[in-house]
Protein backbone atom coordinates (compact mmCIF):
# COMPACT_ATOMS: atom_id res chain seq x y z
CA UNK A 1 0.00 0.00 0.00
CA UNK A 2 2.79 2.36 0.95
CA UNK A 3 4.57 1.47 -2.23
CA UNK A 4 1.48 2.46 -4.16
CA UNK A 5 1.31 5.64 -2.16
CA UNK A 6 4.92 6.43 -3.07
CA UNK A 7 4.23 5.63 -6.70
CA UNK A 8 1.21 7.88 -6.55
CA UNK A 9 3.29 10.63 -5.05
CA UNK A 10 5.98 10.26 -7.68
CA UNK A 11 3.33 10.37 -10.38
CA UNK A 12 1.69 13.34 -8.76
CA UNK A 13 4.95 15.26 -8.50
CA UNK A 14 5.83 14.56 -12.12
CA UNK A 15 2.43 15.66 -13.39
CA UNK A 16 2.38 18.69 -11.17
CA UNK A 17 5.91 19.44 -12.30
CA UNK A 18 4.91 19.52 -15.95
CA UNK A 19 1.84 21.53 -15.08
CA UNK A 20 4.25 24.03 -13.60
CA UNK A 21 6.03 24.40 -16.93
CA UNK A 22 2.77 25.12 -18.67
CA UNK A 23 1.82 27.99 -16.45
CA UNK A 24 5.25 29.33 -15.70
CA UNK A 25 3.89 31.45 -12.87
CA UNK A 26 2.71 28.60 -10.67
CA UNK A 27 5.34 26.68 -8.72
CA UNK A 28 4.53 23.61 -6.67
CA UNK A 29 6.66 22.66 -3.71
CA UNK A 30 6.52 19.20 -2.19
CA UNK A 31 7.36 18.68 1.48
CA UNK A 32 8.75 15.25 2.35
CA UNK A 33 7.90 14.24 5.91
CA UNK A 34 7.34 11.33 8.31
CA UNK A 35 4.78 13.22 10.35
CA UNK A 36 1.61 11.80 8.81
CA UNK A 37 -0.12 12.58 12.11
CA UNK A 38 0.24 16.25 11.20
CA UNK A 39 -1.31 16.05 7.74
CA UNK A 40 -4.51 17.84 8.74
CA UNK A 41 -2.62 20.67 10.45
CA UNK A 42 -0.51 21.24 7.37
CA UNK A 43 -3.39 21.14 4.94
CA UNK A 44 -5.80 23.21 7.01
CA UNK A 45 -3.57 25.71 8.76
CA UNK A 46 0.04 25.96 7.69
CA UNK A 47 -0.20 25.71 3.91
CA UNK A 48 -3.18 28.12 3.53
CA UNK A 49 -1.35 30.66 5.71
CA UNK A 50 1.70 30.46 3.44
CA UNK A 51 -0.18 30.40 0.14
CA UNK A 52 -2.26 33.43 1.10
CA UNK A 53 0.93 35.48 1.37
CA UNK A 54 2.81 33.95 -1.55
CA UNK A 55 0.54 33.78 -4.59
CA UNK A 56 1.93 31.61 -7.33
CA UNK A 57 3.47 29.05 -4.98
CA UNK A 58 1.58 25.90 -4.15
CA UNK A 59 2.69 23.55 -1.38
CA UNK A 60 1.96 19.84 -1.13
CA UNK A 61 2.64 18.05 2.16
CA UNK A 62 3.56 14.46 1.32
CA UNK A 63 4.23 12.32 4.41
CA UNK A 64 5.51 8.72 4.45
CA UNK A 65 5.16 6.19 7.28
CA UNK A 66 7.69 7.09 10.05
CA UNK A 67 9.47 3.72 9.95
CA UNK A 68 9.91 3.91 6.19
CA UNK A 69 10.77 7.59 5.94
CA UNK A 70 14.56 7.35 6.07
CA UNK A 71 14.78 4.56 3.51
CA UNK A 72 12.18 6.04 1.15
CA UNK A 73 13.75 9.50 1.35
CA UNK A 74 17.24 8.18 0.60
CA UNK A 75 15.94 6.30 -2.42
CA UNK A 76 14.10 9.34 -3.72
CA UNK A 77 17.07 11.64 -3.18
CA UNK A 78 19.39 9.24 -5.00
CA UNK A 79 16.93 9.01 -7.88
CA UNK A 80 16.51 12.79 -7.95
CA UNK A 81 12.75 12.52 -7.45
CA UNK A 82 12.51 13.90 -3.91
CA UNK A 83 10.48 16.98 -3.08
CA UNK A 84 11.97 20.47 -2.76
CA UNK A 85 11.65 20.49 1.01
CA UNK A 86 12.88 17.72 3.25
CA UNK A 87 11.77 17.22 6.84
CA UNK A 88 14.94 16.59 8.85
CA UNK A 89 15.47 13.99 11.52
CA UNK A 90 17.76 15.34 14.24
CA UNK A 91 21.53 14.76 14.25
CA UNK A 92 23.38 12.07 12.33
CA UNK A 93 20.66 10.98 9.89
CA UNK A 94 20.36 14.50 8.46
CA UNK A 95 24.08 15.24 8.76
CA UNK A 96 24.66 12.24 6.51
CA UNK A 97 22.28 13.73 3.91
CA UNK A 98 24.12 17.04 4.04
CA UNK A 99 27.50 15.35 3.62
CA UNK A 100 26.20 13.50 0.58
CA UNK A 101 25.16 16.84 -0.90
CA UNK A 102 21.43 16.22 -0.72
CA UNK A 103 20.74 19.12 1.63
CA UNK A 104 21.78 22.68 0.91
CA UNK A 105 23.45 25.03 3.39
CA UNK A 106 20.97 27.47 4.91
CA UNK A 107 23.44 29.81 6.60
CA UNK A 108 22.29 32.86 4.62
CA UNK A 109 18.57 32.08 4.74
CA UNK A 110 16.60 35.10 5.98
CA UNK A 111 14.99 34.12 9.28
CA UNK A 112 17.77 31.87 10.55
CA UNK A 113 18.70 34.60 13.02
CA UNK A 114 15.51 33.67 14.88
CA UNK A 115 17.17 30.54 16.26
CA UNK A 116 19.71 30.07 19.03
CA UNK A 117 22.80 27.89 18.50
CA UNK A 118 21.30 25.22 20.78
CA UNK A 119 18.17 25.15 18.63
CA UNK A 120 20.30 24.73 15.52
CA UNK A 121 22.70 22.18 17.04
CA UNK A 122 20.76 19.18 15.75
CA UNK A 123 21.23 20.30 12.15
CA UNK A 124 24.66 21.88 12.21
CA UNK A 125 27.96 20.36 11.12
CA UNK A 126 30.30 19.21 13.90
CA UNK A 127 32.48 22.32 13.54
CA UNK A 128 29.40 24.54 13.92
CA UNK A 129 30.04 26.30 10.58
CA UNK A 130 27.05 25.25 8.50
CA UNK A 131 23.38 24.80 9.35
CA UNK A 132 21.33 22.79 6.86
CA UNK A 133 17.79 22.63 8.30
CA UNK A 134 15.42 25.15 9.83
CA UNK A 135 14.58 23.95 13.36
CA UNK A 136 10.88 23.32 13.64
CA UNK A 137 9.98 21.67 16.92
CA UNK A 138 11.39 20.40 20.16
CA UNK A 139 10.19 18.53 23.23
CA UNK A 140 10.86 19.69 26.79
CA UNK A 141 11.37 17.52 29.86
CA UNK A 142 10.00 18.17 33.30
CA UNK A 143 7.56 16.72 35.81
CA UNK A 144 3.78 16.68 35.45
CA UNK A 145 1.91 16.42 38.73
CA UNK A 146 -1.62 15.70 39.88
CA UNK A 147 -2.77 19.09 41.13
CA UNK A 148 -5.75 17.65 43.02
CA UNK A 149 -3.44 15.28 44.89
CA UNK A 150 -1.03 18.09 45.76
CA UNK A 151 -3.90 20.25 47.02
CA UNK A 152 -5.42 17.50 49.17
CA UNK A 153 -2.09 16.63 50.69
CA UNK A 154 -1.16 20.27 51.11
CA UNK A 155 2.05 20.01 49.12
CA UNK A 156 3.42 23.02 47.31
CA UNK A 157 5.29 22.68 44.04
CA UNK A 158 8.91 21.72 44.83
CA UNK A 159 11.68 23.85 43.41
CA UNK A 160 14.76 22.35 45.05
CA UNK A 161 16.00 18.80 45.34
CA UNK A 162 15.33 18.77 49.09
CA UNK A 163 11.77 20.00 48.64
CA UNK A 164 11.26 17.45 45.90
CA UNK A 165 12.20 14.54 48.14
CA UNK A 166 10.26 16.05 51.05
CA UNK A 167 7.17 16.12 48.83
CA UNK A 168 7.76 12.51 47.78
CA UNK A 169 8.17 11.48 51.43
CA UNK A 170 4.92 13.17 52.33
CA UNK A 171 3.00 11.47 49.51
CA UNK A 172 4.49 8.13 50.49
CA UNK A 173 3.70 8.56 54.17
CA UNK A 174 0.11 9.49 53.43
CA UNK A 175 -0.24 6.39 51.26
CA UNK A 176 -3.16 7.04 48.94
CA UNK A 177 -0.97 7.82 45.92
CA UNK A 178 2.09 6.17 44.43
CA UNK A 179 4.59 9.04 44.76
CA UNK A 180 6.08 8.73 41.27
CA UNK A 181 4.94 6.88 38.14
CA UNK A 182 7.98 5.48 36.39
CA UNK A 183 9.17 1.99 35.51
CA UNK A 184 12.50 0.55 34.47
CA UNK A 185 11.24 -2.30 32.28
CA UNK A 186 11.47 -0.37 29.02
CA UNK A 187 14.87 1.08 30.02
CA UNK A 188 14.46 4.31 28.04
CA UNK A 189 12.05 5.75 30.58
CA UNK A 190 14.80 5.64 33.19
CA UNK A 191 17.27 7.28 30.82
CA UNK A 192 15.08 9.82 29.01
CA UNK A 193 12.57 10.77 31.69
CA UNK A 194 15.04 10.25 34.51
CA UNK A 195 18.68 10.88 33.70
CA UNK A 196 18.27 13.32 30.81
CA UNK A 197 15.48 15.10 32.65
CA UNK A 198 17.27 15.95 35.92
CA UNK A 199 20.83 15.65 34.62
CA UNK A 200 21.33 19.08 32.97
CA UNK A 201 20.94 20.73 36.41
CA UNK A 202 24.07 18.91 37.61
CA UNK A 203 26.25 19.08 34.51
CA UNK A 204 25.15 22.66 33.84
CA UNK A 205 23.41 22.05 30.53
CA UNK A 206 25.29 23.05 27.42
CA UNK A 207 28.46 23.83 29.37
CA UNK A 208 28.82 20.25 30.55
CA UNK A 209 27.63 18.74 27.29
CA UNK A 210 30.19 20.69 25.27
CA UNK A 211 32.94 19.82 27.75
CA UNK A 212 32.03 16.14 27.44
CA UNK A 213 32.29 16.28 23.66
CA UNK A 214 35.63 18.11 23.90
CA UNK A 215 36.86 15.51 26.33
CA UNK A 216 37.38 18.03 29.14
CA UNK A 217 34.84 16.26 31.31
CA UNK A 218 34.25 12.58 31.78
CA UNK A 219 31.16 10.62 32.63
CA UNK A 220 32.95 9.58 35.82
CA UNK A 221 33.08 13.21 36.96
CA UNK A 222 30.86 14.24 39.81
CA UNK A 223 28.67 16.37 37.56
CA UNK A 224 27.69 13.30 35.55
CA UNK A 225 27.53 10.78 38.41
CA UNK A 226 25.48 12.93 40.76
CA UNK A 227 22.28 12.70 38.69
CA UNK A 228 22.66 8.93 39.03
CA UNK A 229 22.94 9.28 42.81
CA UNK A 230 19.70 11.26 42.83
CA UNK A 231 18.10 8.74 40.48
CA UNK A 232 19.08 5.90 42.80
CA UNK A 233 17.05 7.59 45.54
CA UNK A 234 13.93 7.53 43.35
CA UNK A 235 13.73 3.78 43.79
CA UNK A 236 11.88 4.04 47.11
CA UNK A 237 9.16 6.24 45.64
CA UNK A 238 8.24 4.18 42.59
CA UNK A 239 5.28 1.81 42.55
CA UNK A 240 5.43 -1.85 43.57
CA UNK A 241 7.17 -3.95 40.97
CA UNK A 242 8.50 -0.94 39.05
CA UNK A 243 11.16 -3.26 37.62
CA UNK A 244 8.51 -4.77 35.36
CA UNK A 245 6.50 -1.58 34.85
CA UNK A 246 6.39 -0.51 31.21
CA UNK A 247 5.98 2.95 29.71
CA UNK A 248 2.24 2.57 28.98
CA UNK A 249 1.85 1.26 32.56
CA UNK A 250 3.37 4.48 33.89
CA UNK A 251 1.17 6.64 31.67
CA UNK A 252 -1.93 4.79 32.82
CA UNK A 253 -0.97 4.87 36.49
CA UNK A 254 -0.73 8.62 36.27
CA UNK A 255 -3.77 9.36 34.12
CA UNK A 256 -5.92 7.05 36.24
CA UNK A 257 -5.00 9.22 39.21
CA UNK A 258 -3.09 6.54 41.09
CA UNK A 259 0.25 8.33 41.01
CA UNK A 260 1.04 11.88 42.05
CA UNK A 261 4.10 12.82 40.00
CA UNK A 262 5.05 11.79 36.48
CA UNK A 263 8.55 12.44 35.10
CA UNK A 264 7.52 13.61 31.68
CA UNK A 265 8.33 14.75 28.21
CA UNK A 266 6.11 17.46 26.79
CA UNK A 267 4.83 15.13 24.05
CA UNK A 268 2.59 13.58 26.72
CA UNK A 269 0.50 16.75 27.01
CA UNK A 270 -1.88 15.96 24.16
CA UNK A 271 -2.63 12.47 25.46
CA UNK A 272 -2.83 13.40 29.13
CA UNK A 273 -5.25 16.26 28.42
CA UNK A 274 -7.72 13.83 26.89
CA UNK A 275 -7.27 11.03 29.46
CA UNK A 276 -6.74 12.56 32.87
CA UNK A 277 -9.87 13.49 34.81
CA UNK A 278 -8.03 15.73 37.29
CA UNK A 279 -6.20 19.03 37.13
CA UNK A 280 -2.56 18.80 36.12
CA UNK A 281 0.38 21.08 36.63
CA UNK A 282 4.02 20.90 35.73
CA UNK A 283 7.34 21.87 37.27
CA UNK A 284 10.86 21.95 35.88
CA UNK A 285 13.60 19.66 37.22
CA UNK A 286 14.32 20.87 40.79
CA UNK A 287 17.61 22.70 41.36
CA UNK A 288 20.13 21.67 43.99
CA UNK A 289 20.01 24.79 46.15
CA UNK A 290 17.41 27.53 46.15
CA UNK A 291 18.42 30.29 43.78
CA UNK A 292 20.58 28.13 41.48
CA UNK A 293 20.15 28.53 37.75
CA UNK A 294 17.75 25.92 36.44
CA UNK A 295 18.47 23.89 33.32
CA UNK A 296 15.96 22.12 31.12
CA UNK A 297 16.28 19.54 28.38
CA UNK A 298 14.73 21.21 25.34
CA UNK A 299 15.44 18.52 22.82
CA UNK A 300 15.34 19.20 19.08
CA UNK A 301 13.13 16.79 17.22
CA UNK A 302 12.01 18.09 13.81
CA UNK A 303 13.52 20.46 11.23
CA UNK A 304 13.02 21.31 7.54
CA UNK A 305 15.78 21.47 4.95
CA UNK A 306 16.21 22.40 1.31
CA UNK A 307 16.77 19.70 -1.32
CA UNK A 308 20.03 20.78 -2.94
CA UNK A 309 18.88 19.41 -6.30
CA UNK A 310 15.31 20.66 -6.07
CA UNK A 311 13.69 22.30 -9.08
CA UNK A 312 12.47 25.47 -7.37
CA UNK A 313 15.10 26.64 -4.90
CA UNK A 314 13.88 30.24 -4.79
CA UNK A 315 10.28 29.38 -3.95
CA UNK A 316 11.50 26.73 -1.50
CA UNK A 317 13.65 29.29 0.29
CA UNK A 318 10.64 31.57 0.63
CA UNK A 319 8.82 28.72 2.29
CA UNK A 320 11.74 28.05 4.64
CA UNK A 321 11.81 31.71 5.64
CA UNK A 322 8.13 31.31 6.46
CA UNK A 323 8.92 28.23 8.57
CA UNK A 324 11.51 30.33 10.41
CA UNK A 325 8.97 33.08 11.14
CA UNK A 326 7.18 33.64 14.45
CA UNK A 327 3.87 33.27 12.61
CA UNK A 328 4.64 29.66 11.68
CA UNK A 329 5.87 29.01 15.21
CA UNK A 330 2.55 30.21 16.57
CA UNK A 331 0.40 28.08 14.24
CA UNK A 332 2.51 24.96 14.68
CA UNK A 333 3.03 25.03 18.43
CA UNK A 334 -0.62 25.74 19.17
CA UNK A 335 -1.88 22.99 16.88
CA UNK A 336 0.37 20.41 18.50
CA UNK A 337 0.65 21.21 22.21
CA UNK A 338 3.80 19.56 23.52
CA UNK A 339 5.82 20.06 20.35
CA UNK A 340 7.32 23.47 20.89
CA UNK A 341 8.66 25.84 18.32
CA UNK A 342 12.39 26.45 18.57
CA UNK A 343 11.97 30.05 17.50
CA UNK A 344 13.56 32.56 19.88
CA UNK A 345 10.41 34.68 19.75
CA UNK A 346 8.28 33.41 22.61
CA UNK A 347 5.04 31.82 21.46
CA UNK A 348 1.91 32.30 23.54
CA UNK A 349 0.43 28.84 24.03
CA UNK A 350 -3.33 28.39 24.47
CA UNK A 351 -2.92 25.14 26.42
CA UNK A 352 -2.07 25.98 30.06
CA UNK A 353 0.06 22.88 30.61
CA UNK A 354 2.00 23.50 27.40
CA UNK A 355 2.35 27.17 28.38
CA UNK A 356 3.81 26.09 31.73
CA UNK A 357 6.42 23.94 29.97
CA UNK A 358 7.38 26.57 27.45
CA UNK A 359 7.58 29.32 30.10
CA UNK A 360 10.64 27.58 31.59
CA UNK A 361 12.61 28.66 28.55
CA UNK A 362 12.53 32.19 29.92
CA UNK A 363 14.00 31.38 33.33
CA UNK A 364 16.01 28.21 32.67
CA UNK A 365 18.88 27.48 30.34
CA UNK A 366 17.99 24.99 27.62
CA UNK A 367 20.16 22.11 26.50
CA UNK A 368 19.67 18.95 24.46
CA UNK A 369 20.04 15.32 25.53
CA UNK A 370 23.71 14.78 26.25
CA UNK A 371 24.11 11.56 24.30
CA UNK A 372 22.60 12.61 20.99
CA UNK A 373 25.19 14.77 19.29
CA UNK A 374 28.38 13.03 18.07
CA UNK A 375 28.68 10.78 21.14
CA UNK A 376 26.39 8.03 19.88
CA UNK A 377 28.15 7.36 16.60
CA UNK A 378 30.25 4.40 17.66
CA UNK A 379 29.91 1.00 19.20
CA UNK A 380 29.02 0.59 22.00
CA UNK A 381 26.36 3.19 21.50
CA UNK A 382 26.34 5.68 24.36
CA UNK A 383 22.59 6.30 24.17
CA UNK A 384 21.74 2.60 24.40
CA UNK A 385 24.27 2.10 27.20
CA UNK A 386 22.75 5.03 29.06
CA UNK A 387 19.35 3.34 28.88
CA UNK A 388 20.71 0.16 30.39
CA UNK A 389 22.79 1.88 33.07
CA UNK A 390 20.03 4.28 34.14
CA UNK A 391 17.72 1.31 34.68
CA UNK A 392 20.54 -0.53 36.48
CA UNK A 393 21.10 2.36 38.86
CA UNK A 394 17.42 2.59 39.79
CA UNK A 395 17.12 -1.19 40.10
CA UNK A 396 20.20 -1.20 42.29
CA UNK A 397 22.11 -3.53 39.94
CA UNK A 398 24.91 -0.97 39.61
CA UNK A 399 26.01 1.85 41.89
CA UNK A 400 26.05 5.36 40.36
CA UNK A 401 29.85 5.24 40.30
CA UNK A 402 29.91 1.90 38.50
CA UNK A 403 27.43 3.22 35.95
CA UNK A 404 29.60 6.26 35.22
CA UNK A 405 32.68 4.08 34.89
CA UNK A 406 31.00 1.64 32.51
CA UNK A 407 29.69 4.43 30.31
CA UNK A 408 33.03 6.23 30.16
CA UNK A 409 34.85 3.00 29.39
CA UNK A 410 32.47 2.27 26.53
CA UNK A 411 32.84 5.80 25.18
CA UNK A 412 36.64 5.73 25.49
CA UNK A 413 36.79 2.56 23.43
CA UNK A 414 35.90 4.42 20.24
CA UNK A 415 35.58 8.15 20.86
CA UNK A 416 38.66 10.33 20.61
CA UNK A 417 37.80 13.98 21.31
CA UNK A 418 39.12 16.42 18.75
CA UNK A 419 42.21 18.07 20.18
User: Which spans of this chain sit near another protein (rule: CB under 8 A)?
Assistant: 91-92, 183-188, 239-246, 249, 253, 371-372, 376-377, 379-381, 383-384, 387-388, 391-392, 395, 397-398, 410, 413
Taking only Cα atoms into account, the Rg of the chain, rounded to an integer number of angstroms, comes to 23
**Which residue number, 187 or 306, has a Cβ lying nearer to another protein?**
187
**Which residue number, 243 or 405, has a Cβ lying nearer to another protein?**
243
Burial class (CB in 10 A: 0-12, 13-18, 19+), 96: middle
Q: CB of residue 392 vs another protein: minimum separation in angstroms?
A: 5
Q: How far is CA 336 from CA 28, 70, 171, 329, in A?
A: 26, 23, 32, 11
The helix or strand, by DSSP H or E, that contains position 273, with its residue range, turns out to be helix 268-275
Distance CA 72, CA 62 (A): 12
Q: CB of residue 235 vs another protein: minimum separation in angstroms?
A: 12
Q: CB of residue 153 vs another protein: minimum separation in angstroms?
A: 22
Distance CA 133, CA 87 (A): 8
**Residues in CB range of 259: below 8 A, 6 or more apart:** 146, 177, 178, 179, 180, 181, 239, 250, 253
* Other Cβ atoms within 10 Å of 341 Cβ, number: 27
Q: CB of residue 181 vs another protein: minimum separation in angstroms?
A: 10
First to last CA, the chain: 50
**Which residue number, 281 or 378, has a Cβ lying nearer to another protein?**
378
Return the DSSP state at 125.
Answer: -
Q: CB of residue 388 vs another protein: minimum separation in angstroms?
A: 6
* Other Cβ atoms within 10 Å of 402 Cβ, number: 15
**Which residue number, 14 or 379, has a Cβ lying nearer to another protein?**
379
Q: CB of residue 256 vs another protein: minimum separation in angstroms?
A: 10
**Which residue number, 396 or 417, has a Cβ lying nearer to another protein?**
396
Torsion of CA 89, 409, 417, 223, to 10 degrees: 80
**Which residue number, 86 or 411, has a Cβ lying nearer to another protein?**
411
**Which residue number, 155 or 382, has a Cβ lying nearer to another protein?**
382
Amino acid sequence: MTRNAIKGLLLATSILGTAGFAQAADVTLTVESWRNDDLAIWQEKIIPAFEAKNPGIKVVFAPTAPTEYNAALNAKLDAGSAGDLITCRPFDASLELFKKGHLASLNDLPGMENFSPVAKSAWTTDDGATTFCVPMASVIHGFIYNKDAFDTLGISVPTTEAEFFAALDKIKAEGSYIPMAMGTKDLWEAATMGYQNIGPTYWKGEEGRAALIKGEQKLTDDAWVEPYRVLAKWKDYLGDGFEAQTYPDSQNLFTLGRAAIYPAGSWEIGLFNTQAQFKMGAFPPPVKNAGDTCYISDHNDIGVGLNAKGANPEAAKKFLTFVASPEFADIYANSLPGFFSLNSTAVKMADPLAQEFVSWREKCKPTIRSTYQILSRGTPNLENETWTESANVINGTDTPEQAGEKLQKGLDSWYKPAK
